[in-house]
Amino acid sequence: MTNILLVTSSPRGAESLSTRFATEIAEGFKVRLGGAHLTRDLAANPLPHIAQAYIHGRIAAPEARTPEQVEAVGLAQELVDEVKAADVIVLGSGMINFGPSSQLKAWFDHITWPGVTFDYSGAGRPQGLLTGKKVYLVTAAGGVFSEGDWAPFDFQTGYLRHLLGFIGLTDIEIVRVEGTVFGPEAAKAAIAATEAQVRSILEKAS
């Protein structure tokens, strides 16, 4: 049985291409591989930004935590447990001002947890603790950021890959949908290219 975690984050709702393709991948895996499929929609149900209750609560002894700290740490633990339980993680991210949305950043802020999802070796090097999982990172952007003049301004894909790798999620396949703002024909071609990549991914899983 394969446990699949789908995390979507675009505020565009039904118009979101990152949500569309991430959902297609997750649902396709469920059909082909069976197992459980959990969705966390960070746009429909945004997480709070981390605050003092989380910062202080996660390092306090459980019995010494205030009610606010118990709630904040409990939420972070719930999110971490979802990632730990997953065999496959599908992450959808639409570019907002050259980077990921604040909703997705808040999710990473909760799960990037010293001693829980990463630690430091004796030499002081960070070591991710969430290993043995496959991640499909679906990024969407109106412009073309994978190559060309705008590539240096893609603060989304590389940043998300770094955060995932930092907590041990290094087996990552990137799915891009980009160049959709250059007219109907360009958008159609961009979507068709991503559809082909998604089909290829799902065929390999069959």
What does 33-93 look like in DSSP terms, one character per residue? H-S-EEEEETTTSPPPPP-HHHHHHTTS-GGG--HHHHHHHHHHHHHHHHHHH-SEEEEEE
Residue 172 bridge partners (DSSP): 135
Q: Which of 177, 87, 93 is nearest to 134 (CA)?
A: 87
Overall size of the chain counted in residues: 206
| Number of neighbouring beta carbons within 10 Å of residue 36 | 13
Helices and strands in the chain: count of H runs, count of E runs: 6, 7
What does the block give as tokens for 76?
Answer: 């972070």
93 marked as part of a ligand binding site: no
Per the annotation, binding residues are: 10, 16-18
Per the annotation, binding residues for FMN are: 10, 16-18
